[in-house]
Amino acid sequence: MGVVLRNLQKVVPVRRARLRKDVDTLRHILGIQKFDLGIICVDNHRIQQINNIYRKKNTPTDVLSFPFYEDIRPGKLPCPLHRDELNLGDIFLGVQFVMEQCQEESLDLHGALTVITAHGICHLLGYRHETEEEWAEMLQRESYILSEYNKLTGKHLEPLMKKCGQDR
Amino acid sequence: MLKSVVRAVGAAVRISSSTTSTARAVPLACATLCSPSSATIRPFTRSLWMLNNNGASSTYRPKLFSSKALNPSVSCGCGGLHTEGDKAFGDFLSDEIKEEKKLQKSQTLPKMSGGWELEMNGTEAKLTRNVSGEKVSVTFNVNNSIPPNFEEEVEQGQQKPAEEEPEIVSTPNFVVEITKKAAKHSLVFDCHFPEDEISHGDGEEESDIFTIREVSFQPEGDSEWKETSYTLNTDSLDWALYDHLMDYLADRGVDNTFADELMELSTALEHQEYIKFLEDLQGFVKCN
């Protein structure tokens, strides 16, 4: 089925084709093309609601991941038995939150969305950043993904975790 | 844990593939096609004021088998039949009209941002806008544009307080027609508001605000959908192509903000037409 893209908000003019292309490039780099993935673009209000329900944090944020496989070892791809299980889960992108940050730092919105999606996909693949070790492991993976992405596209994207180590 | 969007979409595709729209300017609401019981779900009157004892109808109790009911008790010389029932009906309608006018938020219609011009033909609305050499028009009909309330069906038997009555929102299918000066045919998009977005409202709906159902080239300005033109159905479409089509519409002012404003406009228009209908009905029944 591939990437299911949903745009549930009207604050940010998201370019769907661009976002899909970027997500497809990330999937190609990670070798996860056979897995389904949900990308849902939401505004501050909605991501705050979800953040509050699932993480008890009543603030908007940039990304929330909901893995289909909750207990896989980082970097090990799941081995599903059925077609239904060829699914990594859903990533909610707080596009309004990301846009506001981009405006502050004069960054390209879609570049930032790619970085944030890469972070979200790492979570779906079992990476965490609750301990120092986990953080280093995840940063390494994100750096690899984005350096490959930069090679393919000529962009200069940097991992999200270089800037902040807070959990998402 | 949220339900997976991927799985939800699989189900949505199955549902949507069972309906096709043939009319161009007057697309039927999917809700009406899918639900045979929709006519009974939507009540004739919309407010719950009738439950109060102050309503005009509470003073009139029709007697079954009463011969009086067959004889006209009021005469206005028009030659038509006038019964006690007609009088009660007229009184009921005048109270209903008063209530509905109270509910009307504003006499003026909500504005569409982006320089759209509105033109009405009965219950059909047409929004037009020119974008550097291209003409974009959006047509929708307020008839059959209110989806049935599924939640009420599910919660049958549970008494809900009157204040919690859900707000009526009109979500018509709409047809976007893009015309280029040099081209013979217009590019036409049949767009829908997905049902689950509207009817659940539990904060976990995961559909786009609006979706493209079909795309086709049609002779410019024709109101009938030409069945012999190839029609691209988006149910089984390459999603990258679908995203490009959505971006194409967004560049021409048909995006989520537009869809949201269209919903507000259509709701106001539908309410206006409903009140007009009640007034016509009152006039017909009363025969002044």
- Any A CB within 8 A of B207 CB: yes
Mutation for A interface: B1, B6, B263, most A CBs within 10 A: B6
Residues in chain B: 288
Amino acid at B70: L
CA distance A9 to chain B (A): 7
- Any A CB within 8 A of B256 CB: yes
> Could you report the per-residue pLDDT of B220-250, keeping only the tens digit for each?
766 677 788 899 999 888 999 999 999 999 9
> Could you report the per-residue pLDDT of B48-78, keeping only the tens digit for each?
443 444 444 444 444 555 444 455 555 667 7
pLDDT top residue among A7 and B86:
A7
What per-residue confidence (pLDDT) applies to B25? 39
Which class does domain A3-159 fall in?
A: alpha beta
Token pair for residue B47?
A: 């407010």
Kindly state the DSSP code that residue B232 receives in the 8-state scheme: E
Q: What is the mean pLDDT of chain A?
A: 91
* Backbone dihedral region for residue B133 (phi beyond 0: left; psi -120 to 50: alpha; all else: beta): left
CA gap B286, B278 in Å, rounded? 12
**Of A32-36, A164-168, B119-123, B225-229, minimum mean pLDDT range:** A164-168
Nearest-CA residue of chain B relative to A53? B1
Does B32 score more than 60 pLDDT? no
Q: Position of tokens 């004739």?
A: B44
Does B109 score more than 70 pLDDT? yes
Does B185 score more than 70 pLDDT? yes
CA distance A86 to chain B (A): 10
Model confidence, pTM: 0.78
CA distance B242 to chain A (A): 8
pLDDT average, residue stretch B16-26: 39
Which residues from chain B sit within 8 angstroms of residue A17, using beta carbons? 240, 243-244, 246-247
**CATH superfamily placement of domain B21-37+112-265:** Mitochondrial glycoprotein (3.10.280.10)
Residue B244, helix vs strand vs coil: helix
Contact B5 A7 (CB under 8 A): no
- Any A CB within 8 A of B204 CB: no
Tell whether the torsion through CA atoms of B232, B235, B236 and B239 is positive or negative. Answer: positive
Contact A9 B10 (CB under 8 A): no
Contact A13 B244 (CB under 8 A): no
Residue B134, helix vs strand vs coil: strand
What per-residue confidence (pLDDT) applies to B228? 85
**Residue among A2, A21, A90 minimizing CB distance to B4:** A90
CA gap B117, B129 in Å, rounded? 6
Q: A29, A22 in Cβ contact below 8 A?
A: no
- Any A CB within 8 A of B261 CB: no
In this prediction, residue B106 has a pLDDT band, given cuts at 50, 70 and 90, of confident
**Residue among A4, A10, A17 minimizing CB distance to B5:** A4
Does A123 score more than 90 pLDDT? yes
pLDDT average, residue stretch A4-13: 95
**Residue among A7, A15, A66 minimizing CB distance to B2:** A66
CA distance A12 to chain B (A): 10
Q: Position of tokens 């897995």?
A: A35
Q: A119, A164 in Cβ contact below 8 A?
A: no
Complex ipTM value: 0.90
Contact B203 A49 (CB under 8 A): yes
